[in-house]
Amino acid sequence: MTGASLIVLAPALAPGARVPRREGVLVGVDGGATKTVAAAFDPDRGRLALAHAGSANARVVGVPAAAGE
């Protein structure tokens, strides 16, 4: 598939979409065994921030490390 997007946004998050007026930021976190990926979207500003870090899986790194202690 040439030119296909790896990530497909919901229509409400697509560029130019009318976003309902709500306060706050949408946040999603995938805490996996090898890495953790987080995304935060501010619908008021139309801005997306991404971050990544090491494992957040308590079975892999232990509870204190997964909790950031």
List, for residues 16-47, the tens digit of each pLDDT value: 777 666 678 889 999 888 999 999 999 888 89
Q: How far apart are CA 13 and CA 21, in angstroms?
A: 13
Q: Are 56 and 32 in contact (CB under 8 A)?
A: yes
pLDDT band at 49 (very low <50, low <70, confident <90, very high): very high
Q: How far apart are CA 54 and CA 32, in angstroms?
A: 8
Q: How far apart are CA 26 and CA 37, in angstroms?
A: 14
Q: Are 21 and 36 in contact (CB under 8 A)?
A: no
Task: Quote the pTM value.
Answer: 0.58
